[in-house]
Structure 1
């Protein structure tokens, strides 16, 4: 029996607990959650016991694996402690929000000898997965340029996230698209230019960037442009706008994941995400399939997916985006 502990009992932690309940040979041993209110809600929803912090969780349950579902900036201490104990890890993206923190986590994973998956869940998104198959097959030729837009409405930074001021569109959203385009281009990032703007969210009481644009040059010579914003209107079609594409020497591919082919019209148009929630008795969606894959790969020894070194590389790219936006110059992630 694979026993799993989950640090963070919010929406994502609860989603992971429900998903793992459907995996044979897996038991979620407990949550670690400092908020009594959040912990009580999670325990009531899942039946999983709650401990006040990750050290209490480790002492009480001796888990084989731990999932870190804390806010982006709060990964380091938990990840270093867990990895140092040789326990396998799934860490939500980004690995960390500074190169220093990400490096310490990566060092701890290597020293501890455990396995680590960084939660870039679009690797399990059917649209992205198929796009990768098409590009990797060579049917588009060599990648020339690519693009990705991943943005949210005001709802996310002003109501969904209590910690939005400690994050940004670059940290909350762009790790997904950086990972996706690195995967599709099969290349590291050589340099970054970026611009950002702020003021609209600050006027609403959330002092962080409104929009971030990044222009990336890959080591293989291809280019990409990425946009992430937190200022889409709440009266729009949904809280997520997600599109990407690749142009190659022999063809192109594009995807619009904002709708997944389904929209509803009542008093206004609303996009829906059929690849989420529950169908019959089964949880569905990229995050669910990712955590199920994580557990099954630990059981059978299979490939986990993007690991700690890739997570560190993506953190370097986002840090380069921030530095490029603040300095107005081109920044190499390797400089950081």
Structure 2
């Protein structure tokens, strides 16, 4: 039985608590959030102890593992503090948004000898897993290129995320697709060329990138084209548009995760009700739920967790390179850019 604490009680922290509410082998005991109201809301929903300082939670509650579900830029302190107390970690993607933070987390985890998973939930997405399986089986041949689109409506940066100005479509969305692209082809990103535009979100009070395009070139010369935006109209049938295509020298495969095979012609317009992330008999289903349950199962069974620090650090390095390329207009090698 793993005794779990959650740091970050907002949307994701609440989801993780619900995902483990009835899961055998998990005992979620406490939640911490800088907002007392947010901490108490999640705590009250699941019968947890509520804290506004994660350090007090770590000191006062008997825990085996911690889920870090804080905003993109705020992973370092809770992750390092938990690792130093010998607690296993599930850290939301991205691992960190600076090279210094990533290095500090990695050093603390390795020194403590604890397990650390980075939350690349699309490795539990059935459609993405199928593309990975097709590629790994050699059915695509050499993966020549991938085209991956992952975008959100205006609602996400302007209403859902209070901290969107401290993130970007690259950190929030492209960290998913960088991991997907490298997981599918099994290659290392050698260089990044990125372009984008900004101004629309800034005019609405969120000073970050509107649109980001990134060309990844891998160590074998093949490529992936990634696009992420935060400016889709709110009239879209869902908050997320997610499309993938992988082209090999033997075959190609593509997936549209936008519709999820269900179209609902509702009185107020066409809707694509989500299947992934829905509930069955009051229990959450979908990639993030299956991911956190896998994390707990691995700990209970004494198996290594993953994806881990290596994957997390690689994605952080690539997205840092995306941002440097956006700023300079040049080609950037991940891991060699200015931190």
Give the aligned partner of residue 269 of structure 2. Answer: 268
Give the aligned partner of residue 300 of structure 1. Answer: 301
- Tell me, yes or no, if the aligned pair for 1:106 and 1:309 is still in contact at 8 Å: no
Q: Give 1:123 shift.
A: 0.4
- Tell me, yes or no, if the aligned pair for 2:187 and 2:219 is still in contact at 8 Å: yes
Give the aligned partner of residue 28 of structure 2. Answer: 28
Please give the alpha-carbon distance, in whole angstroms, between the structure 2 residues aligned to 1:290 and 1:122: 9
Deviation by residue 1:106-134 (Cα, 9 ceiling, x = unmatched): 11111110000000000000101111111
The correspondence of residues 121-132 of structure 1 with structure 2, limited to 5 A, is 121-132=121-132
Q: Give 1:86 shift.
A: 2.2
Give the aligned partner of residue 214 of structure 1. Answer: 214
Secondary structure of the residue aligned to 1:253 is strand
Q: Give 1:303 shift.
A: 3.7
Deviation by residue 1:1-60 (Cα, 9 ceiling, x = unmatched): 210110011111111111112221220110011211111211222111111211111111
- Stretches of 4+ aligned residues off by more than 3 angstroms: none
Give the aligned partner of residue 325 of structure 1. Answer: 326
The correspondence of residues 92-111 of structure 1 with structure 2, limited to 5 A, is 92-111=92-111
Please give the alpha-carbon distance, in whole angstroms, between the structure 1 residues aligned to 2:106 and 2:322: 21
Structure 2 alignment gaps of length 5 or more = none
Q: Give 1:164 shift.
A: 0.7
Q: Give 1:152 shift.
A: 0.3
The correspondence of residues 1-336 of structure 1 with structure 2, limited to 5 A, is 1-266=1-266, 267-336=268-337
Please give the alpha-carbon distance, in whole angstroms, between the structure 2 residues aligned to 1:73 and 1:97: 6
Deviation by residue 1:216-267 (Cα, 9 ceiling, x = unmatched): 0011221010000000000122211100111011001101111111122222
Deviation by residue 1:57-103 (Cα, 9 ceiling, x = unmatched): 11111311000000000001111111122211000000011111111
Secondary structure of the residue aligned to 1:335 is coil
Please give the alpha-carbon distance, in whole angstroms, between the structure 2 residues aligned to 1:80 and 1:66: 11
Please give the alpha-carbon distance, in whole angstroms, between the structure 2 residues aligned to 1:47 and 1:263: 37
Q: Give 1:334 shift.
A: 2.6
Deviation by residue 1:291-331 (Cα, 9 ceiling, x = unmatched): 00000000002242210121011000000000011111100
Please give the alpha-carbon distance, in whole angstroms, between the structure 2 residues aligned to 1:184 and 1:158: 32
Q: Give 1:269 shift.
A: 1.4
Secondary structure of the residue aligned to 2:73 is helix
Please give the alpha-carbon distance, in whole angstroms, between the structure 2 residues aligned to 1:87 and 1:303: 14
Q: Give 1:210 shift.
A: 0.2
Please give the alpha-carbon distance, in whole angstroms, between the structure 1 residues aligned to 2:230 and 2:188: 27
Please give the alpha-carbon distance, in whole angstroms, between the structure 1 residues aligned to 2:328 and 2:130: 37
Please give the alpha-carbon distance, in whole angstroms, between the structure 2 residues aligned to 1:153 and 1:13: 22
Secondary structure of the residue aligned to 1:237 is coil
Structure 1 alignment gaps of length 5 or more = none
TM-score, normalised relative to structure 1: 0.98
- Tell me, yes or no, if the aligned pair for 2:25 and 2:296 is still in contact at 8 Å: no
Please give the alpha-carbon distance, in whole angstroms, between the structure 1 residues aligned to 2:53 and 2:279: 30
TM-score, normalised relative to structure 2: 0.97
Please give the alpha-carbon distance, in whole angstroms, between the structure 2 residues aligned to 1:44 and 1:81: 25
Deviation by residue 1:116-168 (Cα, 9 ceiling, x = unmatched): 00000000001011111111000111110111100000000011001111111
Please give the alpha-carbon distance, in whole angstroms, between the structure 2 residues aligned to 1:252 and 1:56: 52
